[in-house]
Amino acid sequence: MTRTRTVAYLRVSTDKQADLGVSLDAQRAKVAAYAALYDLDLVDVAVDAGASAKSLDRPALAGALDRLARGEADALLVVKLDRLTRSVSDLGELVDRCTRQGWALLSVSENIDTRTAAGRLVLNVLASVAQWEREAIGERTAAALAFKASQGEFCGGEAPYGWRLAADGVHLSPHPEEQAALALAGELRAAGLSLAKVGERLAERGYLPRNGRRWHSQTVKNLLAAKVAA
C-alpha cells in the first residue's frame, strides 16, 4: 500500500514556549503517533517557533505549502487547526488551496482527514463558514459605508472632483474652482459641444484636471457623470 507523503506543521506562539520546547515536544509526539497509526510517511516537520497565527505569513508554513504545491508531499498534518490559523478567512484560503492543488489536510484533535468522504464533508462545512463570514463582513462594511454616505460623511479615498474634505475631516465641502469647472462643463455639453471640445474650452478658461495635465474625452465624461451623480 502506498503511504501518504506528509508534512507535519508545528507552531508555538511565544518565545518562552519555543525555548522550553514543551509545547513543541507535545506536538511532535502527537504527529508522530498519528503518522504511525495511520501509516503516513512523515517526510518533513516544519516548525514556526514563537510565531503568531494572525496571518499565514510564516516561514515554515510557507515552505510547507510550497512543497505541497510542487507535489513533493500529499498531505499537511497539524495537531490542531489553530496551529495553522485562528482566522476564519485564512482557513478558507487554506481550504481553497487544499482543494485546488489536490493535497489532503489532516488534523489530530479535530479528527479531520480529507482523504475520506467524512473528512471532506467537515472541511467543506468549514469552508462554507469561512465564505459566509467573508460575505457577512462585506455586507456589514457596505451597509456602514452607505449609512455614512447618507449622512453626508466622506467614506475615504480621494474626494470627487468638485469637492474637498471639510475641516471636520468627516464631511465634504464644495471646492469653488472645481464647482465652477463642473458648471461650465455641463453648460458646454448641453450646448452640443463634443467631449473633446468641452475639454479644450475648460483648458482655455484655466480649468485643469487634478493631475495638472490636459483633459481627455474620458476624463470629461467622468467629470460630467460625477456632476450628475452629485
The model's pLDDT over 155-212, given as tens digits with 9 standing for 90+, comes to 666 777 887 877 777 777 888 888 898 899 999 999 999 999 999 999 999 888 888 7
Scanning the structure block, which residue is given the C-alpha cell 463634443? 194
Positions marked catalytic: 13
Per-residue pLDDT of 87-104, as tens digits, reads 777 888 888 888 899 999
Domains in the chain with CATH codes: 4-135 (3.40.50.1390), 163-229 (no CATH)
Rounded to whole angstroms, what are the CA distances from 100 to 4, 17, 69, 204? 18, 34, 10, 57
Predicted TM-score (pTM) of this structure: 0.55
- Nearest C-alpha neighbor of 4 from the set 84, 68, 62: 68
Cell of 67: 512543497
Scanning the structure block, which residue is given the C-alpha cell 460630467? 224
Task: Please tell me the distance from the alpha carbon of residue 128 to that of residue 230, in angstroms, as a whole number.
Answer: 39
